Amino acid sequence: MFPYNYHTHTRRCGHASGDDEEYVLAAIKAGYKVLGFSDHAPYRDYPHKGSHMDIEDFAGYIESIHSLKEKYKDQIQIRIGLESEYYPYCLEERKLLLKDLDYMLLGQHYDHPSGKGVNYFKENSDEEILIYANSVAQAVDTGIYSYLCHPDVFMNQQTAFTPACEEAAHIIGKACEKNHLPVELNVRGIMKGKKPFANGDQYWYPHKDFWRILAKYDVKAVVGIDAHSPEDLLQTGFIDEGLKELEDLHLHFITEPFI
């Protein structure tokens, strides 16, 4: 059991369920010392419904989490964050949002905030996979993120770990090592179960071939539930399953709260 989870969504993003307080109560029940809310960050000019919160919901999000932070201060520490993609033309906007936050996580899901471009949750070409990796490397260089969510998310819907996937893993590993940025073992990927690959069943993420390369770099790892319902926070057995999958790689996990 890790005493923290900084990857928690709310119903504002359009694809999560449960009230904010229900997440807090579930985290207390599960035994967490720190719960970080990190719903999908809003955009002013690119409303992509069902993907991230509307900009109009941001103030209410901050107010709600602040209120819960005070209400439950004797039972759990609560942090306020966002999970955000990196787009160069949105960087200044992201820095402004950070003024109201404790942290921001990097979660690269699309190559454009409208969601109409490359979707990294679908099967991608080698070129698209390398676009993802280089975007992540650029994002890491900005210094505004506390860790990289599901670094191997591009493996979602893939059927083989290609040379492009290998190259992408090295690009990400080098960038995170250079910037001392932790990477996330994403428990939601574990919850999805293993899928068939050319070399046997594996998780889409955390994908062991990716992490085998990442382990060659001086990069610390964290655990993130990626909770989309309060019940997800109670599924702590999946953490053990993920750790077991990668245990022979001897990764350096951050085991105490760090934000």
Q: Do 242 and 223 form a contact (C-beta atoms < 8 A)?
A: yes
Structural domain contains residue 139: yes
Q: What is the mean pLDDT of residues 45-51?
A: 74
Tell me the per-residue pLDDT of 137-187, one tens digit each, with 9 for 90 and over. 999 999 999 999 999 999 999 999 999 999 999 999 999 999 999 999 999
Q: Is the pLDDT of residue 123 over 90?
A: no
Structural domain contains residue 42: yes
- Residue in this structure with the two tokens 């290609």, named with its chain if needed: 162
Q: Do 136 and 154 form a contact (C-beta atoms < 8 A)?
A: no
Q: Do 107 and 121 form a contact (C-beta atoms < 8 A)?
A: no
Domain span at residue 228?
A: 4-253
Structural domain contains residue 212: yes
Looking up residue 237, the CATH number of its domain turns out to be: 3.20.20.140
Structural domain contains residue 259: no
Q: Is the pLDDT of residue 219 over 70?
A: yes
Give the C-alpha separation, 132 to 78, whole Å: 31
Give the C-alpha separation, 58 to 66, whole Å: 12
Q: Is the pLDDT of residue 50 over 90?
A: no
Res 48: pLDDT: 65
Structural domain contains residue 258: no
- Reported pTM: 0.96
Res 47: pLDDT: 63
Give the C-alpha separation, 164 to 113, whole Å: 24
Number of domains in the chain: 1
Q: Which of the pair, 194 or 199, is modelled with greater confidence?
A: 194
Structural domain contains residue 29: yes
Q: What ranges in 50-156 are assigned the alpha helix state H?
A: 58-71, 91-98, 126-142
